[in-house]
Amino acid sequence: MDSVTSKAHEIHFGDLAKAALQQYLAQNQYSKIFILVDENTNEHCLDFFSDIHGSSAETPIIIKAGEVYKTIETCVTVWNALSNMGGDRKSMLLNLGGGVVTDLGGFVASTFKRGIDFINIPTSLLAMVDASVGGKTGVDLGALKNQVGVINQPKMVLIFTELLVTLEPRQLKSGFAEMLKHGLIADRDYWNELISLNESDYHNHIQKSVEIKNNIVEKDPTEQNIRKKLNYGHTLGHAIESYYLEHPIKDTLLHGEAIAIGMILEGYLSHKLTGMSKIELDEIKKVFLSNYPKVNFTQEDIGIIIDLLKHDKKNSHGNINFVLLEQIGSAIVDIKVPVELFKEAFAYYKE
Amino acid sequence: MDSVTSKAHEIHFGDLAKAALQQYLAQNQYSKIFILVDENTNEHCLDFFSDIHGSSAETPIIIKAGEVYKTIETCVTVWNALSNMGGDRKSMLLNLGGGVVTDLGGFVASTFKRGIDFINIPTSLLAMVDASVGGKTGVDLGALKNQVGVINQPKMVLIFTELLVTLEPRQLKSGFAEMLKHGLIADRDYWNELISLNESDYHNHIQKSVEIKNNIVEKDPTEQNIRKKLNYGHTLGHAIESYYLEHPIKDTLLHGEAIAIGMILEGYLSHKLTGMSKIELDEIKKVFLSNYPKVNFTQEDIGIIIDLLKHDKKNSHGNINFVLLEQIGSAIVDIKVPVELFKEAFAYYKE
């Protein structure tokens, strides 16, 4: 696959990526090269890079796997590990893992000694198509997702689709939700392609998703305007994800599973407020429900989720702003939604 | 006093500062205005601003006073307070306090929801002459000072020298050490002026110190080169400060007290390595010992302090780089110092 050059950094695929990393590390005299992994990528992915980092890399820094560990406490562990292993301002951090590793590792690097360089090597489909571009780093604060972070670009993003064979099918589906989002907000033809795919073909479409996201982010890196389109499905999706993450009994939803629901709910809002047809709304619902399990929300669940919305980062001055669709392939930002529509949206989901 | 305009933000003094703040807040539609204080500035300084922020400000967020609370745990408290009080991306944080409040508050603001605006209102002499310019934010990690942070500029810095009357004399002296440093690294005449001052005259020289620092920071905002001059006395000074901060029995040294020792020690290194005369070295020692208590270091203390040096942020590739003086008023950066000179420097201090 070809490389994608973003204004801030380069995104390389496959063989080109290995060569690009080797060349980059040779050209830049880093004092130490650290690798951050989680338990899973330590076991399944690290060996793949033995020929790349060679003897120059330090012992890997290993964190626990899962969104519940995307916390400041985990950051403290990693900052301390970097300190204890003699990390300095000229150190490099390679983040090898899914979105938790790349988001948290990016934040740790951006703040260690007021900022060291980092490179992201996403290992999940979700991280490849989403976390690989845009420079958002951060961690959760209790139930509130990504409350603490900075925007800072990695020096390079390397995508090895071979690593996807290590992923569980449920994780693969989770990443696919972000790809479907790229179709919904920007490209009707891409949506049509995606909805007829088998899971074994997802990897051939990663580059298209990266290009769509990169295109948007370059036009609006600080999310003043069109970058907000990438939040489609995420306003309600994040609230749902937070709720299930913190719930003492209910199973956790993966990010893609939560935003899949968010995209149906916000599809309903789009139908009501920004002119998307009922036919397209039903198509969206059908696609997502055929790919993701239907969740049984109680009225109590729905009440708490709507309450969590007020902490969404995209709010300001007490208004809840949404990205909605005019039609499949075209999104519009900054739409204020009357609160009473939220319950209707859940009712449509449950139909 | 006149205002100083830095490339990144404006620094205003006294009456101009009150007017500038009122105008700035009126022109920028912040959704909420938060004030961060510590126990001391809550008690002694907050009232001074009642006419400025008026009814638009939220209940102040109060943290404990002192460097030992400049931690990630305190940041978590403040991030949570901002969340719980409905802070959003369009919120403003006013940091009213000494260097701990402005460094920590700047870091919290720079990372809350990936960054909100902040204004610094330094209340200590140290924060007025040092923390007010340059955009360094951050907190300590265990014994290691400022290990976690970012470089990010406040929207504005407001200096009210009236607030200095609330300071204890020891704190005033601590800030004076940074002013003396400005003379040593950049201006022999300013050094001469300062060393004959009474404490009651310090406030008339704040603007000169701010100008010297601003001048250096503007030429090299990311500390690639001449900005390092501002670290004079800080390499050994930080190690000494860390050691006393963590020591179970010994009293804590204030920042200015620690770097005053650092400036004598690094003056010795300057005499040995970069040509400063013995006469000037003795002058430096005499000035600092007449302003700050002499500390009795044991050989064990000295060994541990030298050990701590290897964690200094200014190191890279295992070398310890120093800023040294060619003469009073002129500094030179990136001088590697042989380890054996450290003990000699302490011996000179103890003479």
> Residue A80 is encoded by which pair of tokens?
């301390």
Residues from chain A contacting residue B144 (CB–CB below 8 Å):
83
pLDDT of residue B221: 84
pLDDT of residue A2: 66
For residue B246, name the pLDDT band (cuts at 50, 70, 90).
Answer: confident
- B147 → closest Cβ in A31, A113, A151: A113
pLDDT of residue A7: 59
Residues B281-303: pLDDT tens digits? 999 999 999 999 999 999 999 99
Minimum CA–CA partner of B136 in chain A:
A114
Q: Which of A88-92, B141-145, B327-331 has the highest mean pLDDT?
A: B327-331
Would the ipTM clear 0.95, i.e. be above it? no
Q: Tell me if domain A4-166 and domain A169-350 are identical in fold.
A: no
- Please tell me if residue A111 touches chain B, with a CB cutoff of 8 Å: yes
Which residues, in sequence order, are CB contacts of A140 under 8 Å at separation 6+? A67, A70, A71, A146, A147, A148, A245
Residues B226-236: pLDDT tens digits? 999 999 999 99
Q: 3-state DSSP call for residue A279? A: helix
Residues from chain B contacting residue A318 (CB–CB below 8 Å):
31, 86
> Cβ A150–B146 below 8 Å, yes or no?
no
For residue B239, name the pLDDT band (cuts at 50, 70, 90).
Answer: very high
> Cβ A110–B150 below 8 Å, yes or no?
yes
- Please tell me if residue B112 touches chain A, with a CB cutoff of 8 Å: yes
pLDDT of residue A54: 53
Length of chain B: 351
Helices (H), A34-98: 39-44, 50-53, 72-84
For residue B102, name the pLDDT band (cuts at 50, 70, 90).
Answer: very high
- A150 → closest Cβ in B80, B114, B313: B114
Tell me the shortest Cα–Cα distance from B282 to chain A, in angstroms.
34
> Residue A149 is encoded by which pair of tokens?
């972070």
pLDDT of residue B143: 79
- B89 → closest Cβ in A75, A111, A313: A313
Tell me the shortest Cα–Cα distance from A279 to chain B, in angstroms.
36
Residues in chain A predicted with pLDDT less than 70, given as ranges, are 1-2, 5-8, 51-57, 311-319
Select the more confidently predicted residue: A132 or B263: B263
pLDDT of residue A286: 98
> Cβ A150–B115 below 8 Å, yes or no?
yes
| Residues of chain A numbered 298-337 and touching chain B (CB < 8 Å) | 310-311, 313-318
Going from the C-alpha of A177 to that of each of A162, A183, A239, A258, the distances in angstroms are 20, 10, 17, 9
Length of chain A: 351
Going from the C-alpha of A132 to that of each of A74, A136, B320, the distances in angstroms are 21, 9, 36
pLDDT of residue A56: 58
Minimum CA–CA partner of B310 in chain A:
A86
For chain B, the structural domain boundaries read 4-166, 169-350
pLDDT of residue A201: 93
Residues from chain B contacting residue A89 (CB–CB below 8 Å):
313-316
pLDDT of residue A205: 95
Residues from chain B contacting residue A86 (CB–CB below 8 Å):
310, 318
A&B contacts, CB < 8 Å? 100
- B104 pLDDT higher than 90: yes
Neighbours of A50 (CB within 10 A): 10
- Please tell me if residue B143 touches chain A, with a CB cutoff of 8 Å: no
Residues from chain B contacting residue A150 (CB–CB below 8 Å):
110-111, 114-115, 150
Residues B175-196: pLDDT tens digits? 999 999 999 999 999 999 999 9
pLDDT of residue B338: 87
Longest dimension (CA), chain B: 60
pLDDT of residue B256: 95
pLDDT of residue A33: 92
In CATH terms, B4-166 corresponds, of 3.40.50.1970, 3.40.47.10, 3.30.565.10, 3.40.50.720, to 3.40.50.1970
- B222 pLDDT higher than 90: no
The overall average pLDDT reported for chain B is 91
Tell me the shortest Cα–Cα distance from A312 to chain B, in angstroms.
8
- A149 → closest Cβ in B86, B111, B151: B111
Minimum CA–CA partner of A115 in chain B:
B150
For residue B131, name the pLDDT band (cuts at 50, 70, 90).
Answer: confident
Residue by residue, DSSP assigns B159-203 as: E-GGGGGGS-HHHHHHHHHHHHHHHHHH-HHHHHHHHT--GGGGG
- B269 pLDDT higher than 90: yes
> Residue A121 is encoded by which pair of tokens?
């090597």
pLDDT of residue A335: 95
Residues from chain B contacting residue A230 (CB–CB below 8 Å):
none
- B53 pLDDT higher than 90: no
- B54 pLDDT higher than 60: no
> Cβ B147–A315 below 8 Å, yes or no?
no
Q: May I ask the CATH class of domain B169-350?
A: mainly alpha
